[in-house]
Chains A and B, each alone.
Chain A
Amino acid sequence: MNIAILSGKGGTGKTTVATNLTMTLGVGYVDCDVEEPNGFIFLAPSIRKKDEVFAEYPIIDKNKCTLCGSCAKACQFHALAKAGKQIVVFEKLCHDCGACKIVCRADALAYTIRSVGKLEEGTVKGISCYRGILKVSEPMAVPVIKKLLKSLPKGDFFIDCPPGTSCNVVSTLRYADAAILVTEPSEFGLHDLKMAVELVKLYKVPYGIIINKDDNKENLVKVFCKNESISLLGTIPYSMEAAALYSKGIMLYENDRYKKIFKSIGNRIKEAFKWKLLC
């Protein structure tokens, strides 16, 4: 079972929840936040396998090109434009859809590849960890996320999602059997949580909410959960202790108080998603 951990708002604690639940339940971890994958900082697995990710983009044979401009008109992403006596290719905008090649009557288009990122696989205490890393300056994360999730073996995984509700999250959720939404009790946290809930509903998978940095009060997120009948899978208290551990890169799981909290959240998740661990 793949459980996606998303949030809407960034910085609510997706990685904190994903890495600590991974250690608590002894299941696999996948970091799909390929623009800034930080889960390995906490888990520190030893890397045993690396792979490269490539993206395709068109190249134009100037001898065959008639400068008709059909390819530029067909491209929905403006990766091709006609200027002067040439077709200019903006390779980073190419979504690799193939439309330009289909419309080219002069057969002047071919595709080539460039590296856009890499995949890493490692283990820590017998737990499998995977992550994708997007190359700096590359704007599109989806090819890296897709390859990462396609390469995943059957098993039980927490999938650490990118923030927001963009295509990066959409591509990740395609591989999710359940979802956990991590939020914080702030107006901004709730605002983006609502968007994340709308997105998750489209996938018809079971989901629940975890409140991080909880103030132990009947806060706006708890009211939202009640009103919308969304199950609250747990709360992680806001404390100086947690912040101090985090700042040193130490997992909250190492602390007895937080270990108990993650154990009870882990049990609640297994119940809520009727999840029977494979291993």
Chain B
Amino acid sequence: MKIVVSATGDKKESMLDRRFGRCVYFHIYDSEKDEYTVINNDGASEGGGAGIAAAGRIIDENVDIVITGKLGPNAYELLKKEGVKAYSCETVPVCKAIEFYQNNQLSEMKGAGRAHHKMR
């Protein structure tokens, strides 16, 4: 199973970024292979549609689970259509967020937050 976490830094101890589309890094953990990779979120600097770009990138990586703060309506729609499950988490170190998920301590997102939720 592939789990992706939005993050502010590229270390395992880096904090989870509650923004999805505009986070700087995505940490991808493959629980079957026990592989850990970090990719840049190139869409973060886009003028618009950052959430869509980020969701597209995550879909290309064949991820099963997303852990972030909130998802905007566009990113939520895409991930739902692709069958990717999204979980909401507070600002904690990325490794902690993955641990929380594995211990069933996170709740699945049942809907999208507002567009540009960090701007308001």
Contact = CB atoms under 8 A, between A and B. Distances in A.
B48 A88 contact: no
Contacts of B43: 78
A72 B49 contact: no
Contacts of A86: 81
Interface residues of B, number: 17
B99 interface: no
A276 B51 CA distance: 51
Contacts of B53: 78
A83 B82 contact: yes
A79 B52 CA distance: 8
Interface residues of A, number: 13
Given A82-B59, A83-B55, A77 B81 contact: no
Interface in B18-69: 43, 46, 48-50, 52-53, 55-56, 59
A83 B81 contact: yes
Nearest to B78: A83
B10 interface: no
A93 interface: yes
Contacts of B52: 78, 81, 90, 93
Contacts of A84: 81-83
A93 B49 contact: yes
Contact of B77 (A72, A77, A78, A88): A88
B67 to A, nearest CB: 19
Contact of A82 (B48, B56, B77): B56
Contacts of B88: none
A81 B55 contact: yes
Contacts of A90: 49, 52, 74
Interface string A71-105: 01000011101111010101001000000000000
A83 B48 contact: no
B101 to A, nearest CB: 22
Given A81-B55, A86-B81, A90-B49, 9 more contacts: A72-B56, A77-B48, A78-B48, A78-B56, A82-B59, A83-B59, A84-B83, A90-B74, A93-B49
Interface of A: 72, 77-79, 81-84, 86, 88, 90, 93, 139
